[in-house]
Amino acid sequence: MKSSKKKKEIIKKTQPDKIGNVFSTPNLDTQIDQFFKKLGQPKVAVKNDKRKQLIQAAEKQLGVQYVYGGNSPKNGFDCSGFTQYIFAQKGISINRTTRSQAKAGKKIVTEKANVGDLVFFSQDGKKISHVGIVTSKPSKTLTMIHASSSKGVIHTNIMKSSYWRKRLMFVRRVV
């Protein structure tokens, strides 16, 4: 019962007021860590927040035009310019080209792809030619946000697209 009361106190201290300001104590993170430690549960991982923030940043660019070599919302994006720009917005440095991004992080099984992972494609089954950012959670149908050469920055369901599904190569986890 004490932990339930403590949880309510912590939540109450972080509720926004009528104009959206959040009241919190200076050591709120410590209190939350202690609360979850007592429950024997891990605190929600910061990585999950970073992943969500990546997608939020990416979605702000929906509709920006495709431009070969482009790497900014003002001038347009190509696929790797888009991913590099989005990751940089969240303080994550990745290389500029699709092929070099394909070496970043850790290669993972496609079925375990998660929000914020990079997904790679090939036209010829050998050379990496396209990259996007996964927007779906594991065990869901695989979706991405990317800079499409024909439509600019869009969402795409990879598994429902005969074009992208047959060109899918692998997924890499950077975050």
Distance of CA 173 to the CA centre of its chain: 10
Tell me, yes or no, whether 146 and 70 share the same domain. yes
0.85 surpassed by pTM: no
pLDDT in tens, 30-50: 555 555 555 554 444 456 899
Rounded to an integer, the average pLDDT of 91-95 is 97
Where residue 14 falls among pLDDT bands split at 50, 70, 90? Answer: very low
Tell me, yes or no, whether 50 and 33 share the same domain. no
Between 131 and 19, where is the model more confident? 131
Tell me, yes or no, whether 29 and 70 share the same domain. no
Q: Provide the sign of the torsion angle of the four alpha carbons 105, 109, 110, 111, taken in this order.
A: negative
pLDDT in tens, 46-67: 568 999 999 999 999 999 999 9
Tell me, yes or no, whether 136 and 151 share the same domain. yes
Tell me, yes or no, whether 81 and 165 share the same domain. yes
Where residue 140 falls among pLDDT bands split at 50, 70, 90? Answer: confident
Q: Does the pLDDT at position 23 exceed 50?
A: no
State which residues form the domain around 70. 46-173
